[in-house]
């Protein structure tokens, strides 16, 4: 059992019932139309029925805009409907209310900690458990860049699911 798993000790009081501390998860990127909503919807699919609230936001969100069409198609190929998504601007209260905050780039993590210093201990790079790399922004780039970013996000999401 690694140190992280020990720290995430079940807090449920009923035998056989495990409730971990991450009940409100926030995923952040820049515009909240490509990477963070893709991660949000992938997480939703993987933790369905666990009572975890998932939200995404952008540091410079295109507020009210739907998810990028290419990302929507990639999610659709995985059986996920991303059409309800609308972009949200990140705010300090969002960071403070979340139990876990995942950023797509190290610079996003730094910006979030600057925006809400009290959130420092719960803000991590989404790729922390894979390679610890930034997920490149595919916005306005070639389809192959979207596919690469989507696959990196998928692997990163899968790496976190075991800790939720």
3-state secondary structure of 38: helix
Distance CA 99, CA 22 (A): 5
Distance CA 123, CA 107 (A): 12
Q: Which of 34, 35, 68, 127 is catalytic?
A: 35
Distance CA 18, CA 95 (A): 25
Beta carbons of 40 and 55 less than 8 angstroms apart: yes
Q: Which of 24, 137, 148, 155 is catalytic?
A: 137
With tokens 């995430």, the residue in question is 8
Active site residue 29: yes
Q: Which two tokens stand for residue 43?
A: 């997480």
Active site residue 65: no
Q: Please, what's the b/e burial string for 81-120 (b: 16 or more CB within 10 A of its CB; e: otherwise)?
A: ebeebebbebeeebbeebebbbbbbeebbebbbebbeebe
Active site residue 137: yes
Beta carbons of 161 and 47 less than 8 angstroms apart: yes
Q: Which of 29, 34, 68, 127 is catalytic?
A: 29
Catalytic residues, by residue number, are 29, 35, 137
């Amino acid at each position: 059992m690694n140190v992280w798993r020990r720290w995430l000790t079940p807090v449920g009081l009923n035998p056989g019932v495990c409730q971990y501390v991450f009940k409100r998860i926030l995923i952040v990127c820049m515009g909240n139309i490509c990477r963070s909503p893709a991660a949000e919807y992938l997480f939703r699919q993987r933790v369905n029925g666990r009572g975890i609230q998932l939200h995404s936001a952008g540091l410079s969100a295109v507020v009210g805009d739907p998810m990028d069409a290419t990302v929507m198609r990639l999610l659709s190929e995985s059986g996920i409907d991303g059409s309800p998504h609308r972009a949200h601007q990140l705010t300090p209260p969002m960071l403070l209310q979340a139990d876990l905050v995942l950023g797509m780039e190290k610079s996003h993590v730094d910006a979030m900690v600057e925006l809400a210093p009290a959130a420092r201990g719960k803000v991590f790079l989404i790729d922390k458990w894979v390679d610890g790399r930034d997920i490149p922004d595919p916005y306005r780039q070639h389809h192959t860049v979207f596919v690469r970013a989507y696959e990196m996000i998928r692997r990163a999401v899968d790496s976190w699911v075991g800790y939720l």
